Structure 1
């Protein structure tokens, strides 16, 4: 049979109110009494009923996290940052994979809200009007993590994706490259796709290099699309001297395609990307990449959410974290 708080109280020889105070870490309990209650809890194997406590306090100490692709290492790093801060503030996490599909994202958001989570962290692609409508119906705080909404109405934590792409392409230009291809993410994605594409174009414009639409291929963030895009570039009459990829995974696909064609990185073609996942330093040659502080994005998002859940003062609800260009071995100086 299920052990109840009444059983613990009887075993310890105290009132149920005293057991409740001990379980809830109330300081107004004598150390000797607290010890007796803990010993009774251990002997009986009592576990407090989180659902019942949530009903009484109207708090579940649970946070829902919507993640776009649980198999993607970059989101795993964000989730680690979320989890560490959640543990620090005694919150539990419900992690849901949404496959970057709008219908599933909205369904998962509604499911988590039905589970009476105290707050929600949303990682996804485009934040549409349908997303915003679902968020508006929530009576708990919601923070966008590693993404932002177009109108800037939601609390969020992210980097400046356009600036990150601008810095990556500018690094290629500084090494003498003028013919620079781009392997882009979908342009419907405001951050990893469109913003990074805009950064690429702005860097070319700043250097007086004409934008060439034929030097841009749209991928789906995966390795295979990087291979396909690079194959397209290499089969041209004259391939670009450098390629900027919107993600490390597509960049590694591009590197392997170049090598499959019997060419060398960076001797024949330079490659640079954004994200700086662990894969960037595992591939050979090691990949130059703009680092997103993914762990920090997760940690800061969770800390912002805790403040909102506790109704603490928040000075900046939209946080932009710094990025950093990590130079490795995949970019060469063009003679």
Structure 2
């Protein structure tokens, strides 16, 4: 049997209104009454019902978080940032994986909204018209996290992915590389895939290096696809002297595939990527990579959401956080 607020009131010999005040930390209760109510709660094992409480206050103090994949270290770090700020502001989190699959994303968004969350943080793939439709029908604020929508209508927190890729490829060019391969994410993915691909092209363009179709291949962000694509590059008659990889996990596959072929990183081929997951400094040679401030992206987006939920004024609803090139050991000058 579920213990109700009514049982607690009877046990403590007070009105239901008094129990409600105690549970909701209302100061207008005498200390001895408060003590009596807490003892009754303890004895009966009463747990306030967040949903019922939400119906009364129209607030559940719960935030829904849609994330592509919690097993990906990048997203788990964002989730950590979200969680820490949520705790500070006394919000609970419901976390759902949606695998960057549109149908699943839309379904999860709707499920969370049905659960009466007070706000929604969304990390995912491309923001389509259907996503925007789902967000628009929501009566609660939505913030995009490590994701941006091209139309700029929805508040977001991210880095400039094109600039990050440009800086990575530019570093290779400064080191004298001109045959530069790219392992891209899917080009349908606006931030990681397409924006990073545009940054790659922009850097080549600026240096007057002709674009070579054979030097761009699509991976799926996973270690294995880094290995696959790298094998393809190694079999080219004029293989690249450097490879820019759209994320660290694939880049680690790239480094291993080069080493398995009996070649050395960076002596034979340089490798640079984007993300700066912990693993990037655990492999040998340690990866030179462009760091995204993942924890901060999570923390800043949660803070932005709290402001929107409390209807506070917000200076900027599109926040772009700085990225940084972390020089380690996987890039070396190219001497032709």
- Same fold flag (TM > 0.5): yes
1:308 aligns with 2:308: yes
1:33 shift after superposition: 3.1
TM-score, scaled to structure 2: 0.96
1:158 aligns with 2:158: yes
* Aligned equivalent of 1:146: 146
Instruction: Give CA deviations for 1:279-324 in whole Å, capped at 9, x if unaligned.
Output: 1111111111111111111111111111111111111111111111
Structure 2: gaps (5+ residues): none
Rounded Cα–Cα distance in structure 1 between residues aligned with 2:4 and 2:218:
59
1:105 shift after superposition: 0.8
1:243 shift after superposition: 0.5
1:24 shift after superposition: 0.6
* Aligned equivalent of 1:239: 239
Instruction: Give CA deviations for 1:126-151 in whole Å, capped at 9, x if unaligned.
Output: 00111111111111111111100111
* Aligned equivalent of 2:206: 206
* Aligned equivalent of 1:178: 178
Q: Give the root-mean-square deviation of aligned CA atoms.
A: 1.3
Q: Secondary structure at the match of 1:224?
A: helix
Q: Secondary structure at the match of 1:244?
A: strand
1:36 shift after superposition: 2.9
Instruction: Give CA deviations for 1:132-183 in whole Å, capped at 9, x if unaligned.
Output: 1111111111111110011111110100000100111111112221111111
* Aligned equivalent of 2:317: 317
1:28 shift after superposition: 2.4
* Aligned equivalent of 2:112: 112
TM-score, scaled to structure 1: 0.97
1:278 shift after superposition: 1.1
* Aligned equivalent of 1:90: 90
Rounded Cα–Cα distance in structure 2 between residues aligned with 1:44 and 1:114:
30
* Aligned equivalent of 1:275: 275
Task: List aligned pairs for 1:188-207, cutoff 5 A.
Answer: 188-207=188-207
1:30 shift after superposition: 3.3
1:16 shift after superposition: 2.4
Rounded Cα–Cα distance in structure 1 between residues aligned with 2:237 and 2:27:
76
Rounded Cα–Cα distance in structure 2 between residues aligned with 1:94 and 1:146:
18
* Aligned equivalent of 2:253: 253
Rounded Cα–Cα distance in structure 1 between residues aligned with 2:32 and 2:81:
38
* Aligned equivalent of 2:298: 298
* Aligned equivalent of 1:78: 78
Which consecutive segments of 4 or more residues in structure 1 shift more than 6 A?
none
Q: Which is worse superposed, 19-28 or 179-188?
A: 19-28
Rounded Cα–Cα distance in structure 2 between residues aligned with 1:236 and 1:2:
68
Q: Secondary structure at the match of 1:95?
A: strand
* Aligned equivalent of 1:230: 230
* Aligned equivalent of 1:286: 286
